[in-house]
Structure 1
């Protein structure tokens, strides 16, 4: 029996009373997050950042699956996969398998356009290949992304609509549900916010236009890859200044107008970093959204 998730759950529960009185988390608090070691680490490419961590709950399964994609402004200087082990351990303790994805970022060789998106494709393809090796129920799948990772998981949901080019894939693994935690998904309409919050230019995330691709958002902007048939929960801290609640409201409106289901959840008194911490007072609300996305009572 894998006891690590159960131990992590006990430690988490022991700290909840203290956490409830905590002030909103800051970047330093987020960078200090950690969690249990994964069950396995699997590479989907040759680069150092091309791998994913699998967390399996105790029991025989098959288990619903949460794909986690960290944020960090698409760069390597703001942490990433290690911090999301905090959430991964808490989800595994609830009987949810976790696929915690690392990827090449804009300041790494091969990152940006198209490499970062190709990493998302490859990580999901590797997950699909593991369903026969591990007790994973890919019919119950949710992609959960934070900040820049929110953009990437929202892109995952619509990637099947990309008709051609380097990011087209035939019959990719379907992502039926998305939970975007303070996501910055609309590259076209939120370019100014992405620049002010993260210091990133559109060209780093979407590439440069050319004769064969005059509009750089046709295959990168999740907001334009709709309708995609997914259901999206946009979860944002009331005090989030990186991706304010207005961003979630605007994206949800656009999704509904396109014909997709989208729901906004505002976390009272929470910052951008509370959204992703299992020790935060906001965690029970975030967990409830993830379990709802998986169809759990």
Structure 2
């Protein structure tokens, strides 16, 4: 037996990262994502397929809440191991935020192998730059941008939080106010060594420069890293290693393990008083608000109970973990005042 990574041979490493094989209900979950997303696009107010770059894959959908701005903006990045899926599969994310008056942007990017991973990451950075520069066109507040993503999208969230925005486009260094990576991939070396690289074509250098564990977060903005307890040891290690690495750089980074959830169920988690899932909002909010309060020199920070009440977090029927993990971040900026 030839070991290729941390005690895994190639076959064992392939098993660790083959989520569709590990989760028998994977196709059921993906079909549910698509069904709920089609319904969201049909029922919600949105601007669809807005170009943020010249490549055909550089498009995004903006979902608009009722009322007048400026409104917080939340950007969601889909997964699919960088070579599958599409923004249209994740429109359902918007439904959790709009009632709270939050504009939601769901981005697309060109998939590997039509582009390489370096270009894919650049496109995601360009999408955030577009949101910052164009937020006022949809009543969004460019100073209240938060991000989240699932799977490969979690990786891209971390890459964005490690971006030098001033160097990228003369943008504010703290452009991204907070981020949440769900079931993300932050060390790409095992990805390079498993079956996924047959499509991705990563070299050791490409894997290293696109591994968030090897990078410094650009600012000390909050990051929440979420992983399902049933995702397997490598996914947990990925999340744990990022949190450990970024904490050494002084980043307020937290790890949350969701009991009983796999790679697909975690992305569409239903609120349940029996399971205690509804407490996740309070758990996250309290921590982010404490940090915001420490950084704020003025009084009037929104109270935790106001955050929960404003977002309807304990009443939502389709409250997936993305909404819980990221809605709290909307209050993370020190200038958010009680109004």
Q: Is the 8 A contact 2:145 2:176 kept in 1?
A: yes
* Whole-Å separation in 2 of the counterparts to 1:153 and 1:176: 12
Q: Is the 8 A contact 1:160 1:170 kept in 2?
A: no
Q: Deviations over 1:119-176 (max 9, x none)?
A: 112211221222221111232221101111111111011110797xxxx544367212
Please report how far the alpha carbon of residue 278 of structure 1 lies from its aligned counterpart in structure 2 after TM superposition.
Answer: 5.6
1:290 matched to 2:290? The reply is: no
Q: Which residue of the partner structure matches residue 211 of structure 2? A: 221
Q: Which residue of the partner structure matches residue 199 of structure 1? A: 196
Please report how far the alpha carbon of residue 280 of structure 1 lies from its aligned counterpart in structure 2 after TM superposition.
Answer: 6.9
* Whole-Å separation in 2 of the counterparts to 1:242 and 1:53: 34
* Whole-Å separation in 1 of the counterparts to 2:200 and 2:27: 29
1:184 matched to 2:185? The reply is: yes
1:270 matched to 2:261? The reply is: yes
* Whole-Å separation in 1 of the counterparts to 2:82 and 2:206: 17
Please report how far the alpha carbon of residue 90 of structure 1 lies from its aligned counterpart in structure 2 after TM superposition.
Answer: 2.0
* Whole-Å separation in 2 of the counterparts to 1:195 and 1:241: 17
Change (3 A) 1:272 1:192: same
Name which one, 1 or 2, has greater alpha-carbon Rg.
2
* Whole-Å separation in 2 of the counterparts to 1:287 and 1:25: 25
* Whole-Å separation in 2 of the counterparts to 1:280 and 1:96: 20
Please list every run of 5 or more consecutive structure 2 residues that lacks an aligned counterpart in the other structure: 1-22, 278-318, 333-337
* Whole-Å separation in 2 of the counterparts to 1:291 and 1:25: 30
1:55 matched to 2:45? The reply is: no
* Root-mean-square deviation over aligned CA pairs: 2.9
Equivalent residue for 1:138, pick from 119, 122, 142: 142
**Structure 2 counterparts to residues 109-124 of structure 1, below 5 A:** 111-124=115-128
> Per the alignment, in what secondary structure is the counterpart of residue 184 of structure 2?
coil
Q: Is the 8 A contact 1:86 1:278 kept in 2?
A: no
* Whole-Å separation in 1 of the counterparts to 2:237 and 2:215: 21
Higher relative contact order (CA 8 A, sep 6+): 1
Q: Deviations over 1:9-39 (max 9, x none)?
A: xxxxxxxxxxxxxxx8832123211321161
* Whole-Å separation in 1 of the counterparts to 2:229 and 2:134: 38
> Per the alignment, in what secondary structure is the counterpart of residue 62 of structure 2?
strand
Q: Is the 8 A contact 2:166 2:172 kept in 1?
A: no
Aligned residues: 255
Q: Is the 8 A contact 1:40 1:55 kept in 2?
A: yes
**Structure 2 counterparts to residues 1-297 of structure 1, below 5 A:** 26-32=25-31, 33=33, 34-35=36-37, 36-37=40-41, 39-41=46-48, 42-76=50-84, 79-108=85-114, 111-160=115-164, 168-171=168-171, 174-187=175-188, 191-192=189-190, 195-196=193-194, 199-200=196-197, 204=201, 208=203, 215-216=205-206, 219-229=209-219, 230-241=221-232, 244-277=235-268, 279=270, 283=319, 285-295=321-331
* Whole-Å separation in 1 of the counterparts to 2:242 and 2:163: 17
**After the TM superposition, which segments of 4 or more aligned residues of structure 1 sit over 6 Å from their partners?**
none
Change (3 A) 1:94 1:242: farther
Q: Is the 8 A contact 2:146 2:330 kept in 1?
A: yes
Q: Which residue of the partner structure matches residue 296 of structure 2? A: none
* Whole-Å separation in 2 of the counterparts to 1:107 and 1:88: 28
Change (3 A) 1:203 1:39: closer
Change (3 A) 1:227 1:72: closer
**Which structure shows the higher helix fraction?**
2
